[in-house]
Amino acid sequence: MSPELGNFALALACCLAGAQAVLPLIGAQRRDPRLMAMAPALAVGQLLALLTSFACLVNAAIGDDFSVQNVAANSAVAKPLLYKITGVWGNHEGSILLWALILGVCGGAVALFGRNLPSALRARVIAVLGGVSAGFLLFCLTTSNPFDRVWPAPLDGQGMNPLLQDPGLAFHPPILYTGYVGFAVPFAFAIAALIEGRVDAAWGRWVRPWAVAAWCFLTCGIALGSWWSYYVLGWGGYWFWDPVENASLIPWLTGTALVHSAIVVEKREALKIWTVLLAIGTFSFSLSGTFLVRSGILNSVHAFANDPARGVFILGLLALVIGGSLLLFAIRAPALTAGGMFAPVSREGLLVLNNILLCSICAVVLTGTMYPPFMSLLFGKTISVGKPFFDATAAPLAIPLLAFMGFGPMMPWKRAQFWPVLRRLWWAGLLTAAAFALAAWRIRDILPLLAATFAVWVIAGSAADIAERIRLFRLPLGQSLHRARLLPRAALGAALAHAGVGVSVLGLAAMSQAAHKIVEVRVGQTEMLAGDAWTLTDVHSAPGPNYTSLIATIEVRHDGRLVTVLHPSKRTFASQNQTTTEVAIHTNLLSDLYGVLGDRHGTDADPTYVLRLHYNPLAPWMWLGGLVMAMGGALSLSDRRMRVGAPRRARLAGLVAAR
Amino acid sequence: MSDTAAPRPASTTRRRVLMAAPLVVAGAAGVGFWRMLSGMTQGSFDPHDIHVPVLDRPVPDFALPDQAPGQGFGAADLRALTRPVLVNFFASWCIPCVAEMPVLNALKDRLPIWGIAYKDKPDNAAGFVRRAGNPYARIAGDLPGLTAIDWGVSGVPESFLIGPGGVIRWHTAAPLGEDTIHDTLLPLAASLTR
């Protein structure tokens, strides 16, 4: 019964979304307050219907209702409860429903938190969200309905891919999707602004919190995904430039650019057209990423059940959403009025530079990702683009980005000079020079060396920014602390987020010096790696709940002193006939000792084991930095100005017209 | 950026063209994706397909030792051919190869099949052929797997149709099925015989 209820709720949500897409738009055009007032009600209604639907699917999964095809294909009685719940979004149909649910939450959030918006703008924003939602719900209902029944119902389900039975992966998709889908709100604001034909400072202020919130989630999602591939896949790597990873990185890059260019719109009313385009582009890339991953066009380790027929539907949807919005942009954007002027050397100028560099990196990643399928289509050649290409192209663009990031926040608006700003950063420069000397001693390659140096520069610059603002050491400490309390949280958040970038880049640079070794050893044998002695002392097998594992014991000693004992293991799942490796990681936050148990060779009397040993310096910093970035974003979201006191638009608009 | 543009007619046109550029780029990408998708549904485009570098070229140089119970062969033997031959890479450790064996045994009377045991210990390969029924006229052993690399083999089983003169005419990276044999392989072999 409950799957039918879920199906009905899904269909109801689709109908409500359709109404939400049309009625408020007509209302806003005719200035009909009753039709405009329907927007929030419809958005909340759609959200409730989607919540019901999702709850029904979770209920079916928990209750082992194998008459539901999706549950039968992805769950099993023996699966732990946590994974029965999280397994709901571990497959194509369920993840599309989750996607639609998050989009519904976005619509509901605009309805609830957007009370200070002008009613026409709010109606249009909610209508655009409703339109996107209606498309995806239609996709869900027609081509990938999670409530499809199977008859006769099997006694037990087929179970889940053992690789996915992991807490990290369980919570990764909701966070990542919230990031992807969250950019639908800035997108809807951009479309609403294009329909109205007006972008002003107030618009910039309204759109920024949504962009920052989505950005925080996307940052967390990417960091979590990278961390997952690091400790689950057991390849010792953290980022493989896989198309699926790139599909999340591309909107992150344009989203980061959006977060920055929206500041210029808010403060200076410049870069308006560009910001609108970034808002459209970021969501378009999020959507395309979803599409490309699921259509099977891109070769990836993340194998969703690829279905080209499904891809055709999504492609049509994308053509409508992206093509439609870009068409609107092409028609309306040329009419948007020009805003404030600024000198090339100024805060705005540096933010423009930030946008150019971020978008260049984005273009490079996009090229590298799309080159293989287009080569194959146009010239029938199979090629693959991998790490060497991305390292050689993205890194040289990232280094100037870091260099400017270090002092960008200290530049005055409108017109500035480099020298006075840099002079105030003398101690940060000194620190950076020291970091360069220290890094040059350990790192031989030029790109990681520069990256590490400028990462220190960014962290020092962020600290200097805050120190300058509270006049640390120039006023008595008490007064400085008082100033720190009065400091806008947005400034603190920005500094924290920048420092987070620095921390991540330090981790990335240090990881270029990671050492690893693949060895075949007998029990009792010792191998040296990065100054540590790794001894395989024991290998034994042990039964698990639905697998048997082979567990190795590796003792790591440094100068004869026991550092840690690692227990990497290998699990064999009989039901899926699959083996997974369980990596053993010992971290002291400065480096990871990472051991993987590989195949068993030799005879039964004299077995040998393949071990992969990694020494990963500063590895945890990469993800820690991501967390710090997201915390910075969250801190700036908590700024009072983001929530209240948005300027009344009429007065401002009058000022702009008078200019 | 373009905010500083003065409202002159010429620059208005330029603005319009500039603002339409994203639409054009997205449209071009969309057409590309549509062609990929329609190619995937029709089977003419497969991004997971590995293009064999040696297709329509003479077989790469190699000479492989005997693999019991057959006689080994090399590039010279294939180039001396006057009739088409199917070269089949197999291994005893490969489950799809087991499934392919009955099909090959049914095919061997209509098209000679030469086998290459890929990364397989000679004893295991011999046992495998004995158990499954030997479809191979000749069998060679490629224990190090180096010849397979030259042929562009991505996995076993993989089959190559060699035309007269030792030219690789056709290739599949999937186990052979009745349909493929009757619709593609045999007609192609017949056309090469003439």
Q: Which residues of B touch A295 (CB under 8 A)?
A: 33, 37, 40
Best to test chain A binding among B15, B16, B34, B37 (most A CBs inside 10 Å): B37
Structural domain includes residue A307: yes
Structural domain includes residue A504: no
**Shortest CA distance from A284: residue in chain B:** B26
**Using the beta-carbon criterion (under 8 Å), do B2 and A372 form an inter-chain contact?**
no
Helices A387-405 and A489-511, packing angle to 10 deg: 140
Whether residue A127 is found in the same domain as residue A241: no
pLDDT, one tens digit for every residue, chain B (194 residues): 444 444 445 578 888 898 999 999 999 999 988 888 888 777 667 666 555 566 778 888 888 888 878 888 988 888 888 889 999 999 888 777 888 888 899 998 889 999 999 888 888 888 888 888 899 999 999 888 888 888 888 778 889 999 888 888 888 888 888 888 888 888 888 888 76
**Using the beta-carbon criterion (under 8 Å), do B3 and A272 form an inter-chain contact?**
yes
**Using the beta-carbon criterion (under 8 Å), do A329 and B23 form an inter-chain contact?**
yes
| pLDDT value of position A641 | 66
Q: Which residues of B touch A329 (CB under 8 A)?
A: 19, 22-23
Whether residue A202 is found in the same domain as residue A288: yes
Q: What is the DSSP letter of B72?
A: -
**Shortest CA distance from B15: residue in chain A:** A334
| pLDDT value of position B70 | 81
Whether residue B34 is found in the same domain as residue B93: no
Structural domain includes residue B95: yes
* B50 → closest Cβ in A298, A327, A382: A382
- Report the gap between the CA of B13 and the closest CA in chain A (Å): 9
* A309 → closest Cβ in B16, B41, B47: B41
Whether residue A61 is found in the same domain as residue A94: yes
CA torsion through residues A228, A229, A232, A237, sign: negative
* B51 → closest Cβ in A297, A341, A381: A381
Structural domain includes residue A537: yes
Residue (of A168, A146, A190, A50) closest to A106 by Cα position: A50
Q: Which residues of B touch A298 (CB under 8 A)?
A: 47
**Shortest CA distance from B11: residue in chain A:** A334
Whether residue A102 is found in the same domain as residue A174: no
* Token pair recorded at residue A133: 């939602």
**Using the beta-carbon criterion (under 8 Å), do B40 and A380 form an inter-chain contact?**
no
What are the phi and psi torsion angles at A611 (to 5°)? -120, 140
A584-587/B85-90 β-pairing: unpaired
**Using the beta-carbon criterion (under 8 Å), do A326 and B22 form an inter-chain contact?**
yes
CB-defined contacts A:B, below 8 A: 95
Whether residue A156 is found in the same domain as residue A236: no
Report the number of distinct structural domains present in chain B.
2
**Using the beta-carbon criterion (under 8 Å), do B26 and A315 form an inter-chain contact?**
no
Whether residue B29 is found in the same domain as residue B117: no
Whether residue B86 is found in the same domain as residue B129: yes
pLDDT tens figures, B112-135: 999 999 888 888 888 888 888 899
Q: Which residues pair with A612 in a beta bridge?
A: A518, A596
| pLDDT value of position A622 | 94
Q: Whole domain around residue B185: which residue ranges?
A: 75-193
Q: How far apart are CA A406 and CA B142, in angstroms?
A: 58
Q: Whole domain around residue A573: which residue ranges?
A: 515-620
Q: How far apart are CA A130 and CA A224, in angstroms?
A: 30
- Report the gap between the CA of A234 and the closest CA in chain B (Å): 23
Of the three residues A123, A145, A160, the one that is the final residue of a domain is A160
- Report the gap between the CA of A637 and the closest CA in chain B (Å): 28
Q: Which residues of A touch B11 (CB under 8 A)?
A: none
Residue B43, chain A, CB below 8 Å: the answer is no
Q: What is the 3-state secondary structure (H, E, C) of chain B?
A: CHHHCCCCHHHHHHHHHHHHHHHHHHHHHHHHHHHHHHHHHHCCCCCCCCCCCCCCCECCCCECCECCCCCCCEHHHHHCCCCCEEEEEECCCCHHHHHHHHHHHHHCCCCCEEEEEECCCHHHHHHHHHHHCCCCCEEEEECCCHHHHHHCCCCCCEEEEEECCCEEEEEECCCCCHHHHHHHHHHHHHHHHC
Whether residue A227 is found in the same domain as residue A110: no
Whether residue A315 is found in the same domain as residue A181: yes
The ipTM value here is 0.83
What is the overall mean pLDDT for chain A? 88
Q: Which residues of B touch A308 (CB under 8 A)?
A: 37, 40-41
Best to test chain B binding among A280, A312, A313, A378 (most B CBs inside 10 Å): A312
**Using the beta-carbon criterion (under 8 Å), do A296 and B40 form an inter-chain contact?**
yes
**If you write DSSP's letter for every residue of A639-659 in order, what string do you get?**
-HHHHS-PPPHHHHHHHHHH-
Whether residue A146 is found in the same domain as residue A10: yes
Q: What is the DSSP letter of A261?
A: H
* B19 → closest Cβ in A334, A338, A374: A334
Structural domain includes residue A145: yes
Whether residue A183 is found in the same domain as residue A305: yes
Best to test chain B binding among A376, A383, A601 (most B CBs inside 10 Å): A376
Report the number of distinct structural domains present in chain A.
3
Domain CATH code at residue A521: 2.60.98
Indicate the pTM of the whole model: 0.83
**Using the beta-carbon criterion (under 8 Å), do A315 and B3 form an inter-chain contact?**
no
**Using the beta-carbon criterion (under 8 Å), do A273 and B47 form an inter-chain contact?**
no
* A334 → closest Cβ in B3, B16, B38: B16
Q: Which of residues 366 through 395 in chain A touch B, CB cutoff 8 A?
A: 370, 372-374, 376-377, 380-382
Q: Which of residues 12 through 41 in chain B touch A, CB cutoff 8 A?
A: 12, 15-16, 19-20, 22-23, 26-27, 29-30, 32-41
Best to test chain B binding among A191, A260, A322 (most B CBs inside 10 Å): A322
- The contacts of residue B102 (CB under 8 Å, 6+ apart) are B133
**Using the beta-carbon criterion (under 8 Å), do B23 and A298 form an inter-chain contact?**
no
**Using the beta-carbon criterion (under 8 Å), do B47 and A376 form an inter-chain contact?**
yes
Best to test chain B binding among A273, A284, A369 (most B CBs inside 10 Å): A273
Structural domain includes residue A654: no
Structural domain includes residue A228: yes
Q: Cα angle vertex A322, ends A321, A325, to 5°?
A: 85
Whether residue A106 is found in the same domain as residue A195: no
Whether residue A279 is found in the same domain as residue A151: no
* Secondary structure (3-state) at A161: coil
| pLDDT value of position A619 | 92
* Residue spans of chain A under pLDDT 50: 644-647, 650-659
Structural domain includes residue B47: no
Domain CATH code at residue A192: 1.20.120
Q: Which residues of A touch B12 (CB under 8 A)?
A: 334
Domain CATH code at residue B169: 3.40.30.10
**Using the beta-carbon criterion (under 8 Å), do A308 and B48 form an inter-chain contact?**
no
Residues above pLDDT 90, as percent of chain A = 53
Q: Which of residues 287 through 326 in chain A touch B, CB cutoff 8 A?
A: 291-292, 295-299, 308-309, 311-312, 315, 318-319, 322-323, 326
Of the three residues A126, A144, A160, the one that is the final residue of a domain is A160
What are the phi and psi torsion angles at A523 (to 5°)? -60, 130
- Report the gap between the CA of A128 and the closest CA in chain B (Å): 19
